[in-house]
Structure 1
Amino acid sequence: MPRCAREKSLDSVYHVMVRSIAEINLFTDHADKDVYMRLLKRYKDIYLFKVYGFCLMETHGHIIIDVQGADISRIMHGVNQSYAWYYNHRHKRHGHLFQDRFKSKIVSDDRYLITLSAYIHNNTQDIEGYENQVEKYEYSSLGIYLGSMENKYGLVDKEFILSQISYNTAIAKKQYLELVYRDNPDIIPDDAEFKNEKAQYRSERKVIVRSFRPDEVVSFVENYIKQYNTNISIKYTKKNIEAKALSVLLLRGICDMKQKDICAFMGNITQSHSAKLCARGIDLLQRKKEYMNIAKDFIRRKAG
């Protein structure tokens, strides 16, 4: 039976659901969940999407993704394919890990987005030990929303949803927790006190228009890192490796180019080489502070 076409839009927010095949758990322990979170962050650095919430259970996971002009299929194909490779290698198994394709549904309005995120955060009621304290579950973003847990993956943008409830941070957190516990308000923790933060929540969505030309990206990278006339199409040289790596990263993420198109533009390099350059680009962003905001700076400069 043919698959139904996935409903997609480049300016939408998605409720993404991933599930393992019947006989195994998708996540066997904390290490597996950590890897999946790091992969989400890795692809977030590539495609510049936003994550508004997540919850990972043993057999499945929920993620709220604002694609910001990127393609949800490319994002999730990359994340899930990388995780399946890791999982099979670690657990010495072969074959499919995920149950069919990932499922996704476009979130139609802000009210539904708030209700959906509360539902996702309430999922951990099914985990033994967290029935009445879902905010303490480490692999859900609820603790990040409430300020009781560190955003250690640098993954979650909590402000957008909370700002839909109230610009006052203490009020937004309190009312949000009440929404999570709406079916059983009597178990809201007695010590749930929320202090005002210095800045109020004022968050708006701004979709990235990914219509930039490849030559614009390369020129910007050369000027940004002050490495001129790099001729990135020269294959076998290490002199321009940083310019090539950062260029491939931005071509894939900001220009939304396919690997084969990047390979042709870069001088007929292999897809494997392109993937390695992209990985090196991400590593540069993480290791060198001067490169951390290169993608945002490019978008800001083009918008200005």
Structure 2
Amino acid sequence: MPRIPRLKKGEYCTYHVIQRGNERKNIFLDDRDKQRFLDTLASIKDRFNCKFYAYCLMNNHVHLVVDTNGSDISQIMKSLNVSYVMYFNRKYERCGHLFQDRFKSEVIDNDQYLLEVTRYIHLNPVQANMVKDAAHYPWSSYAVYTGGEDQLQNLVDTSLVLKYFSDHYAKACRKYIEYVQRGTEAENDGEQRPAILDFPDAEDEAIREPASNLGPMSLIEAIADEYSLQVSDLTSKRTPHTAARNDAIKQIKRRCNLGLRDIGTLFGGLSESAVSKILKG
């Protein structure tokens, strides 16, 4: 089937864009990779004078809501992907394709759909069983919409979405949180929710999202839940819950791409030798 040409440069459009790793492999192997991707987004924003209304970085795919501001969406994504792939291949001493085919996109042509798409994106980690609450996932723009993450305010433009809830910022944030939380309810509660662009097998992929694909902090959160503890009970250097803490350290080492120093930092500043001793125990 021939490709449908995208809208031409100069047409002002807002897009929902999704991009997945080749063969559904992870495109982020640690948190530094995710941060590098966000740094690249910021550079792209300045270069093309575009706007990002929402994003979510999953382990093997990303969701973006992009207002092109008259630029060509294909050029925006090409620049983003080329820059990140060069970084990724250099860091991991690899070559070849990182992303699967070309990105998928659809035009967001009405206000209600814009709200639905941002909610869908922010709930991605919840649907993938990575966190129980969207607010607990650090690699989406949800924190900006809830009044936090001031350092991301220059990357994400929340004004267009939040103005539909209230002209007062704090009230708009509160109402948006309520709106997102309604999206997790089992019953439709009367809302007409359109189908959102995603990969055909996204639902199956979310269901089988393994614990090994969790980021370090999300994995610590999951382990804390298993032991009926708080995250701080595991990450305190002088925790009395050493058995649970040591189990968490071993799982982090086995499932995440972190060195001894980084693991020690997660757990209250443990030394590399202390982490090594725990791993050998």
With normalisation by structure 2, the TM-score equals 0.62
**Distance in 2 between residues matched to 1:157 and 1:126, nearest whole Å:** 24
Equivalent in the alignment of 1:62: 63
Structure 2 gaps of 5+ residues are: 187-281
Query: Alpha-carbon deviations, 1:232-267, whole Å to 9, x = none?
Result: xxxxxxxxxxxxxxxxxxxxxxxxxxxxxxxxxxxx
Equivalent in the alignment of 1:232: none
Amino acid at match of 2:83: S
Equivalent in the alignment of 2:87: 86
Query: Alpha-carbon deviations, 1:261-289, whole Å to 9, x = none?
Result: xxxxxxxxxxxxxxxxxxxxxxxxxxxxx
Question: What is the RMSD computed on CA atoms of the aligned residues?
Answer: 1.9
Contact 1:55 1:139 in 2 (8 A): yes
Equivalent in the alignment of 2:34: 33
SS in 2 for 1:170: helix
Equivalent in the alignment of 1:144: 144
After the TM superposition, which of the residue ranges 174-183 and 34-43 deviates more from structure 2?
Answer: 174-183
Task: Label 1:111 to 1:153 Cα distance change in 2 as closer, same or farther (>3 A).
Answer: closer
Equivalent in the alignment of 1:258: none
Query: Alpha-carbon deviations, 1:57-82, whole Å to 9, x = none?
Result: 00100011111111111111001011
Amino acid at match of 1:160: L
Question: Post-superposition shift, 1:182?
Answer: 1.0
Task: Label 1:73 to 1:183 Cα distance change in 2 as closer, same or farther (>3 A).
Answer: closer
SS in 1 for 2:163: helix
Contact 2:135 2:142 in 1 (8 A): yes
Contact 2:147 2:170 in 1 (8 A): no
Contact 2:165 2:175 in 1 (8 A): yes
The percent of aligned pairs where both chains have the same amino acid is 38
Question: Post-superposition shift, 1:103?
Answer: 1.0
Contact 1:54 1:141 in 2 (8 A): yes
**Distance in 2 between residues matched to 1:43 and 1:70, nearest whole Å:** 11
Question: Post-superposition shift, 1:89?
Answer: 1.1
Task: Label 1:44 to 1:116 Cα distance change in 2 as closer, same or farther (>3 A).
Answer: same
**Distance in 2 between residues matched to 1:46 and 1:74, nearest whole Å:** 11
Question: Post-superposition shift, 1:181?
Answer: 1.3
Equivalent in the alignment of 1:135: 135
SS in 2 for 1:27: coil
In the TM superposition, 1:177-192 aligns within 5 A as: 177-184=177-184
SS in 1 for 2:25: coil
Task: Label 1:167 to 1:129 Cα distance change in 2 as closer, same or farther (>3 A).
Answer: same
Equivalent in the alignment of 1:219: none
Task: Label 1:166 to 1:65 Cα distance change in 2 as closer, same or farther (>3 A).
Answer: same
After the TM superposition, which of the residue ranges 48-57 and 161-170 deviates more from structure 2?
Answer: 161-170
SS in 2 for 1:165: coil
Structure 1 gaps of 5+ residues are: 187-304
Q: Which has the larger radius of gyration?
A: 1
Contact 2:89 2:95 in 1 (8 A): yes
Task: Label 1:119 to 1:15 Cα distance change in 2 as closer, same or farther (>3 A).
Answer: same
Task: Label 1:184 to 1:95 Cα distance change in 2 as closer, same or farther (>3 A).
Answer: closer
In the TM superposition, 1:135-174 aligns within 5 A as: 135-152=135-152, 154-174=154-174
Question: Post-superposition shift, 1:93?
Answer: 1.2
Amino acid at match of 2:166: S
